[in-house]
Amino acid sequence: MIANHQDSNPTAAPCVMVIFGASGDLTKRKLIPALCNLALDGLLPQQFAIVGFATNDYTTEGFRKMLGDEIPKYAPGPLDLKTWDWMRERIYYVRGDFQDVEAYKRLREQIEQADQIHNTLGNRFFYLAVAPRFFSPIVKKLGECSLTKEENGHWARVIVEKPFGHDLESAKQLNQDLKQVLTENQIYRIDHYLGKETVQNVMVFRFSNNIIEPLWNRNYVDHVQITAAETVGVEHRGGFYETAGALRDMVPNHLFQLLTMTAMEPPISFDADQVRNKQAEVLHAIQPFTPEDVLKNTVRGQYGGGIVDGQRVAGYRSEPDVSPDSNTETFVALKLQIDNWRWAGVPFYLRTGKRLAQRTTEIVIQFRRTPFVLFRNTSVRNLETNRLVIHIQPEEGISLSFGAKVPGSVMKLGLVNMDFDYSTYFGLEHSTGYERLLRDCMAGDATLFQRSDMVEAGWNVIQPILDVWRALPARGFPNYAAGSWGPIEADDLLERDGRPWRRIGEEEVDKRGRIAVPEKTGIIT
């Protein structure tokens, strides 16, 4: 049985969830564990079923057994056996090719059977956990079989995984293809970053705290940094990464989602379109890149061999399915300007990369320096600026650094951190990051999903970079060692403006051999 859930969150609507590519890693690692968590918390209806669709030769019983064996290896917490028994009886499987008309007929029959058995009221949503080249053909086939038709109060929705296009033209074409079958409010373009509590809390933190929002503008903020760093390499994704690269893989989706939530104006409500209107305004306000801007304000890198977590690792060009002379970037850093009243003149620095020194995703709000007047007759020679850091992963939380006097008879200032950690304050929650997103789709809430105009606006910013990088292939790759913080040019990007990247970690030696003093104990004399 599903546990009772006594709060204001309504249970999702009755429905059948159809997973295309159901035999892949995403289903057993994320989707089914997320659904089990929702069931345990009483956020799934009793009237619910899952239909897996893939080319693998499973029966329904074989598919259930495979999931039962695999899920405990990947679930974020111990799997509740009663919940799994409840879920297991609601899982079905259809074998077929994504382009086979007969397979879709079998799929329709299985959906209708599950609908009758579990009384799901004719509602259904389709999760496309497949390669992007299958998005359009699958949706077209669903339309031909009338599986996307909404009538008599029944709803039908489609969740599309990233990447949504590989450039501006392909994104426009994909939007056009989907809208030949679906309406915009049936399309849910998913970004799992937005399932993280801290990302969702950015809006709450900004708009519900009166001490924060008045400072969130060009009058008080010097600059903003957004970092999404990974210690892993491309692993088994070499073939995909060769056609994508770090820019396409991370920037127009993950990093731009963080950017828009950080920079958006207050919406008039948390209605999905009101929030997404404000996010779209940010993307449209990003200053367009000229070819000269691309050369000056973007950095690309590729990792070579190095040391990560005490282990020697190979360079990108030695990874499986990667060309030995590949010019694909595994690191990107950008400087953006947002041309609106709130952010005029405030640079936004973005960076992301593979095989970096530490796994972390964070948003840094660096405030302006206070006047030195008060300290001019003391031994203090410099003043550190206030810094707000929103930690998104692996630990979720918020920290604020500020100056304080070190006890003693001499005027010395120390930099102090005031930290808030989600797990410490609210308790550790075992989550895959997909729970909120799946439930929102079932509830028809598209707030955390991208709209077509947002997707195209993001690619519109990226396209000039793609064009210049295609015309001028990278030289000197690989240009950073695995286990470092990326190429030296990424540091230069900020140092030209008299700024450094935030030093992540306690004490590090940077690429020029300098020792970085730990931020929590740094003393200014």
What confidence score (pLDDT) does residue 419 get?
81
What confidence score (pLDDT) does residue 515 get?
34
Residue 256 has pLDDT above 90, yes or no: yes
Residues listed for the chain = 525
State the pTM of this model: 0.88
Q: Which long-range contacts (CB under 8 A, 24 or more apart) does 518-523 make?
A: 519/401, 519/415, 519/417, 520/415, 520/416, 520/417, 521/414, 521/415, 522/384, 522/414, 522/415, 523/406, 523/412, 523/413, 523/414, 523/415
Structural domains in the chain plus CATH codes = 15-192 (3.40.50.720), 196-364+428-433+451-524 (3.30.360.10)
Contact 245, 328 (CB under 8 A): yes
What confidence score (pLDDT) does residue 521 get?
34
- 3-state SS of the chain: helix, strand, coil percent to 5? 40, 20, 40
Residue 447 has pLDDT above 90, yes or no: no
Q: What is d(CA 455, CA 458) in angstroms, rounded to the nearest whole number?
A: 5
What confidence score (pLDDT) does residue 514 get?
37
Which whole-number Å values give the CA distances from 323 to 163, 211, 320, in the listed order? 22, 52, 9
What confidence score (pLDDT) does residue 509 get?
39
What confidence score (pLDDT) does residue 525 get?
29
Does residue 254 carry a catalytic annotation?
A: yes
Instruction: Tell me the β-bridge partners of 365.
Output: 224, 388
Catalytic entry in 5, 254, 284, 391: 254
Residue 340: band (very low, low, confident or very high) from pLDDT cuts 50, 70, 90: very high
Residue 5 has pLDDT above 80, yes or no: no
Residue 523 has pLDDT above 90, yes or no: no
* pLDDT tens, position by position, 63-106: 999 999 998 888 777 888 899 999 999 999 999 999 999 999 99
Q: What is d(CA 478, CA 452) in angstroms, rounded to the nearest whole number?
A: 36
Backbone angles phi and psi of 167, in degrees to 5: -165, 180
Task: Give the mean pLDDT of 139-158.
Answer: 93
